[in-house]
Amino acid sequence: MGYGKFVRSVESLSLIPEVQKLLEVGRKNPIPDNFVSFEPTNPSLMIDWLSVKFLFWSDECLNGGNVISTTPDGEIEYKVDKHLKLDGSHDSRLLIRTERSKLPPLPIFDNVWILSVTGNPVKWFQGHNIFGTSDLPNLVYELFEAISKRFGKEQPDFIRDAIIHGHYSISRVDINGMFELGSRLDVLTWLSSLERTARTRHGTAVAKGNTVYFGKNSERWSLKFYSKGQEIEVHKLPAILQMTSLPDFANNKLRAELTLRTKELVKLGLNVGSSWLNIDVWEVYKEYLGRVEMSDLKPIDDITLKLPRHLGLTYLSWKRAIAFKQCCLKTRFIDIAASCLSLVSIYPYQILSNLFLTLFP
């Protein structure tokens, strides 16, 4: 086959041109300089969803069955392997499937496949994705080792080394950031304002419930904002985790999720694992988060939201240092004062005292 001059041992496999091409997938574009760093600046980020392919030794095909297409005469046109659902901790799942590799026909490559893995590895490991890791290379390595042990497939050293050095392809990655606000109400109020006032180059926001999207159907990148506390009420945590402090921790958290898909990853040179060995994920994340243009917002406190609308506007006038008594009709002023007196037995002292200060500064 002409490979003898290259191959002398397992260690020399990387000298085979075809292996180099597979394991050292060339980046079509260089990584932007501002992404390069060896020290993370924001460790609170986490890798959420991930679609990755890497070398994997297995003496059997791993899939969840097949989908077969036939002609009207019953002749098989083609067959597609389905993904195998791999259960993790607390019933979270990954989708995996082996695919044929195009390695040279050498004995060392017998039973070496390309393993396609899609899912949320952090959730698969620990049962939730309220927090996790932004270290993508180590996350992929731990995933590789865990799948190997699950199926009892001892991996050759050259495959393990390939994973360590980032020789795998990435077709999608979600990077999540979480921000703490005063309360759940503050999170929902902020999301409502975001929907109405913000835009990106994709255009204005699209909302579904209390979730706000930018570029929802884009083939390149998208952003999603939502209340993490609300999300885990809809998609409940495993029962054992519901009894921990996790729900309280997530209650007032705003989640901002960046999704990078194949075309954008290729553009950034981040479609191969080796590119992630020396980048600061925070720099990537804030580059896209900064593309959201949002008008100035005035915070709305709990007092404003608890009052009837006509009194809430009066209270806001006071907060903005507007002498309400001097800028409204006498009859209107009397009506509002009477409304305040009628609420004495309903609203807490703090709310009414602030409201009376509005009327009688």
Please check the confidence at residue 31 and state whether its pLDDT lies above 50.
yes
Give residue 287's Cα distance to chain centre.
Answer: 15
pLDDT for position 257? 93
Take residue 55 and report the two structure tokens written for it: 């070398």
pLDDT for position 49? 93
- C-alpha distances out from residue 132 to 86, 224, 324, Å: 20, 18, 50
- C-alpha distances out from residue 162 to 10, 62, 102, 342, Å: 12, 21, 16, 74
Higher pLDDT pick, 297 / 14: 297
Least confident segment among 15-19, 39-43, 334-338: 15-19
pLDDT for position 116? 92
Q: What percent of the chain has pLDDT over 90?
A: 20
Provide the 10 A C-beta neighbour count for residue 107. 5
Please check the confidence at residue 180 and state whether its pLDDT lies above 90.
no
Integer Rg of the chain from CA: 28
pLDDT for position 42? 57
76-90 mean pLDDT: 80
Q: How many angstroms separate the CA atoms of 58 and 110, rounded?
A: 9
For 140-175, what is each residue's pLDDT tens digit? 999 999 999 999 999 999 899 999 989 999 999 999
Higher pLDDT pick, 252 / 333: 252
337-356 mean pLDDT: 46
Least confident segment among 79-83, 191-195, 260-264, 339-343: 339-343
Please report which confidence band the pLDDT of residue 92 belongs to, taking 50, 70 and 90 as the band edges.
confident
Contact 212, 205 (CB under 8 A): yes
The domain limits of the chain are 10-294, 302-359
For 210-246, what is each residue's pLDDT tens digit? 888 988 889 999 999 998 888 888 888 887 888 888 8
Please check the confidence at residue 199 and state whether its pLDDT lies above 90.
no
Please check the confidence at residue 8 and state whether its pLDDT lies above 70.
no
Instruction: Tell me what the pLDDT averaged over the chain comes to.
Output: 75
Q: How many angstroms separate the CA atoms of 229 and 248, rounded?
A: 8
108-122 mean pLDDT: 90
Please check the confidence at residue 359 and state whether its pLDDT lies above 50.
no
| Largest Cα span, the chain | 100
Angle at 108 between CA 106 and CA 109, to 5 degrees: 70
249-265 mean pLDDT: 91
Taken as a whole, the chain contains a residue count of: 361
pLDDT for position 45? 87
For 290-331, what is each residue's pLDDT tens digit? 888 876 555 555 555 555 555 555 555 555 444 555 545 445
- Per residue, the 3-state secondary structure of the chain, as one string, reads CCCCCCCCCHHHHHHCHHHHHHHCCCCCCCCCHHHECCCCCCCCCEEEEEEEEEEEECCCCCCCCEEEEECCCCCEEEEEECCEEEECHHHCEEEEEEEECCCCCCHHHCCEEEEEEEECHHHHHHCCCCCCCCCHHHHHHHHHHHHHHHHCCCCCHHHHHHHHCCCCEEEEEEEEEEEECCCHHHHHHHHHHHHHHEEECCEECEEECCEEEECCCCCCEEEEEEEHHHHHHHCCCCHHHHCCCHHHHHCCEEEEEEEEEHHHHHHHCCCEHHHHHHECHHHHHHHHHCCCEECCCCCCCHHHHHCCHHHHHHHHHHHCCCCHHHCCCHHHHHHHHHHHHHCCCCCCHHHHHHHHHHHCC
Least confident segment among 16-30, 259-273, 290-304: 16-30
Higher pLDDT pick, 271 / 305: 271
Please check the confidence at residue 13 and state whether its pLDDT lies above 60.
no
356-360 mean pLDDT: 44
Q: Which of 70, 55, 132, 125 is nearest to 93 (CA)?
A: 125
66-74 mean pLDDT: 79
Please check the confidence at residue 50 and state whether its pLDDT lies above 70.
yes
Give residue 195's Cα distance to chain centre.
Answer: 19
